């Protein structure tokens, strides 16, 4: 396991490098062409999949959206409303990715006190792949100050993007916030709260004592805790890390790294402990799929259709400096494959035990493209044993419940915010239909298919034009 740990450690450092601080500049984009919030929209004759607990489909319905809210279902159509034809289409809540890493601006070159970021990322370009894919809320799990700036731009309406929940990462080494003693852990939680974070992410290199103190302090500060299971728990009984208020595990991999027993019985033991402790799980199957694909061959990345929507610096890095591929050995690939198989058993066992699971992708890690990857994750959850409806709930209602915003989003109901995806075909019949998108409402802004296509074309063009400027090997000059 030590070799693997070293491997993970090097990956973590690489991952951190890609997630910079601060924010953004802006270029042209269709943001001004999008209808204003005040407009009234009516989706006529649509089939609503509300994703409420009973999820009773409402056929041939009329949905009225005013400002950024669903104001009524099947009421009289107001005058001067913009009509959207929903005939033979399906309306679902906006999708939520519970595990993302957004690029935000920073610098690879040496700084000095008055020097800001030298490498900036256009926030609209960062957010377009999300909204184009119906992803209207994301949970940023490597929170930096720059992510707050992104959230502000979206909130102000200068960028069309998803709602952002942001977690501060606390680690034992190698991360921005480091805590090596329980007291430092507690202080780090209080500091994060002071900076405006609402969530804490616990990380791999914490000692068990510091991990316990962080989770306890977060509870006192009313901040929910998501994260990794520290490596220091390896070989110890799982009861030691399933502690009260450790609310969400960031990937199933956190569990497979704790054991060499990849039996269904072991998966059931984790499931029982998670259930008793109230800990939810982000299975994060798509990330492990991509780790395996890249370890085997870089062709998988080079031929990825959504690669063109990735910032050119990252496109170049994923191809020329891909640590999953560089560090791969046949033994490691076999180990990853065993983990991936075990993760499917974990999903099955957690479902059987009634543990809630939410969809998250690790978007931003090589191969895992923002927005597009959530559809892959939902499909993989179905392959692992969730029903189509359960998989969809993991990316809508359940995710909003964990984030405690289920009074605002997560279902299609009157008085909810208008985060909606209009689909050409029924995702309850075939889960792959979540990507057959006819249009998206993001906080009441309507993006019809043509608008989405234009946004994606603009993004591709910008990425293509700037390819030579952003070579990974030259990053220190950026």
Contact residues: Zn ion, CB under 5 A: 362
Backbone angles phi, psi at 54, to 5 degrees: -80, -20
Min. distance of Cβ 101 from Zn ion in angstroms? Answer: 6
For residue 463, what are the contacts with CB-CB under 8 A and spacing of at least 6? 125, 308, 309, 310, 311, 312, 315
Q: Which DSSP helix (H) or strand (E) runs through 458?
A: helix 449-465
List the structure tokens of 371.
């927005």
- Helices and strands, number each (H, E), in the chain: 16, 16
Cβ distance 320 to 282 under 8 Å?
A: no
Q: Which is nearer to Zn ion, 63 or 126 (CB)?
A: 126
Min. distance of Cβ 223 from Zn ion in angstroms? Answer: 19
**Residue whose pair of structure tokens reads 């990462």 in the numeric block:** 169
Min. distance of Cβ 162 from Zn ion in angstroms? Answer: 17
Min. distance of Cβ 364 from Zn ion in angstroms? Answer: 8
Min. distance of Cβ 139 from Zn ion in angstroms? Answer: 10
Q: How many Cα neighbours within 13 Å face the side chain of 387?
A: 6
Residue nearest to Zn ion (CB): 362
Q: Which is nearer to Zn ion, 365 or 381 (CB)?
A: 365
95-to-82, 271, 335, 394, 422 alpha-carbon distances in Å = 24, 25, 32, 9, 11
Q: Which is nearer to Zn ion, 139 or 211 (CB)?
A: 139
- Between CA 377 and CA 249 the distance in angstroms is 16
Min. distance of Cβ 73 from Zn ion in angstroms? Answer: 37
- Between CA 255 and CA 343 the distance in angstroms is 9
Q: Which is nearer to Zn ion, 269 or 362 (CB)?
A: 362
Min. distance of Cβ 176 from Zn ion in angstroms? Answer: 14
Q: Which is nearer to Zn ion, 117 or 368 (CB)?
A: 368
CA angle centred on 393, ends 389 and 398, rounded to 5°:
155
Min. distance of Cβ 265 from Zn ion in angstroms? Answer: 28
Min. distance of Cβ 232 from Zn ion in angstroms? Answer: 19
List the structure tokens of 141.
């799990």
Min. distance of Cβ 141 from Zn ion in angstroms? Answer: 5
Cβ distance 198 to 166 under 8 Å?
A: yes
Backbone angles phi, psi at 239, to 5 degrees: -55, -25
Q: Which is nearer to Zn ion, 101 or 311 (CB)?
A: 101
Q: Which is nearer to Zn ion, 253 or 362 (CB)?
A: 362
- Between CA 123 and CA 126 the distance in angstroms is 5
Q: For residue 362, which of 120, 119, 18, 121 has the smallest C-alpha distance?
A: 18
- Between CA 208 and CA 233 the distance in angstroms is 7
Neighbours of 10 (CB within 10 A): 13
Min. distance of Cβ 250 from Zn ion in angstroms? Answer: 6
- Between CA 387 and CA 305 the distance in angstroms is 27
Q: Which is nearer to Zn ion, 50 or 227 (CB)?
A: 227
Q: Which is nearer to Zn ion, 217 or 362 (CB)?
A: 362
List the structure tokens of 294.
């890249």
DSSP percent split of the chain into helix, strand, coil, nearest 5: 45, 20, 40
| List of E strands, 199-289 | 199-202, 224-227, 246-249, 280-281
List the structure tokens of 406.
């289920």
Q: Which is nearer to Zn ion, 254 or 362 (CB)?
A: 362
Q: Which is nearer to Zn ion, 216 or 362 (CB)?
A: 362
Q: Which is nearer to Zn ion, 16 or 81 (CB)?
A: 16
Min. distance of Cβ 13 from Zn ion in angstroms? Answer: 13
Q: For residue 439, which of 421, 427, 425 has the smallest C-alpha distance?
A: 421
Q: Residue 335: beta bridge partners? A: none
List the structure tokens of 435.
């990507």
């Amino acid at each position: 396991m030590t070799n693997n740990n070293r491997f993970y450690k090097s990956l973590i450092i690489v991952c951190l490098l890609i997630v910079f601080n601060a924010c953004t500049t802006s270029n042209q984009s269709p943001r001004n062409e999008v209808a204003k919030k005040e407009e009234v929209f009516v989706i006529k004759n649509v089939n609503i999949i509300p994703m409420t607990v009973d999820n009773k489909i409402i056929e041939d319905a009329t949905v009225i959206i005013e400002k950024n809210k669903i104001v009524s279902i099947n009421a009289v159509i107001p005058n001067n409303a913009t009509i959207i034809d929903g005939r033979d289409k399906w309306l679902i809540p906006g999708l939520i990715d519970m595990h993302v890493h957004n690029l935000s601006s920073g610098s690879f070159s040496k700084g000095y006190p008055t020097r800001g970021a030298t490498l900036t990322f256009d926030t609209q370009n960062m957010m377009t792949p999300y909204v184009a894919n119906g992803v209207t809320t994301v949970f940023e799990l490597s929170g930096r100050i720059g992510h707050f700036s992104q959230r502000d731009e979206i909130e102000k309406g200068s960028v069309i993007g998803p709602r952002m929940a942001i977690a501060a990462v606390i680690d034992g080494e190698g991360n921005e916030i480091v805590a090596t003693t329980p007291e430092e852990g507690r202080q780090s939680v209080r500091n994060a709260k002071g900076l405006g974070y609402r969530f804490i992410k616990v990380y791999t290199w914490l000692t068990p004592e510091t991990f316990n103190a962080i989770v306890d302090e977060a509870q006192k500060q009313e901040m929910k805790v998501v994260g990794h299971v520290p490596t220091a728990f390896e070989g110890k009984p799982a009861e030691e890390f399933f502690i009260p208020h450790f609310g969400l595990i960031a990937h199933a991999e956190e569990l497979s790294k704790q054991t060499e027993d990849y039996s269904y019985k072991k998966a059931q033991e984790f499931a029982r402990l998670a259930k008793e402790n109230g800990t939810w799980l982000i299975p994060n199957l798509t990330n492990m799929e991509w780790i395996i694909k890249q370890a085997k061959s870089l062709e998988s990345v080079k031929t990825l259709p959504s690669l063109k929507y990735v910032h050119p610096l990252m496109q170049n890095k994923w191809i020329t400096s891909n640590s999953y591929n560089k560090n791969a050995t046949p033994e490691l690939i076999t180990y990853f494959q065993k983990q991936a198989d075990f993760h499917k058993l974990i999903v099955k066992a957690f479902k059987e035990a009634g543990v809630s699971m939410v969809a998250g992708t690790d978007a931003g890690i090589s191969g895992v493209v923002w927005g597009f990857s959530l559809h892959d994750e939902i499909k993989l959850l179905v392959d692992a044993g969730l029903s189509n409806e359960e998989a969809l709930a993991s990316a809508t209602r359940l995710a909003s419940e964990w984030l405690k915003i289920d009074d605002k989003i997560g279902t299609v109901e009157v008085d909810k915010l208008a985060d909606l995806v209009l689909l050409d075909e029924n995702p309850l019949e075939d889960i792959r239909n979540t990507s057959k998108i006819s249009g998206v409402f993001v906080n009441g802004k309507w993006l019809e298919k043509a608008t989405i296509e234009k946004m994606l074309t603009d993004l591709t063009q910008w990425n293509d034009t700037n390819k030579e400027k952003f070579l990974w090997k030259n990053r220190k000059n950026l």
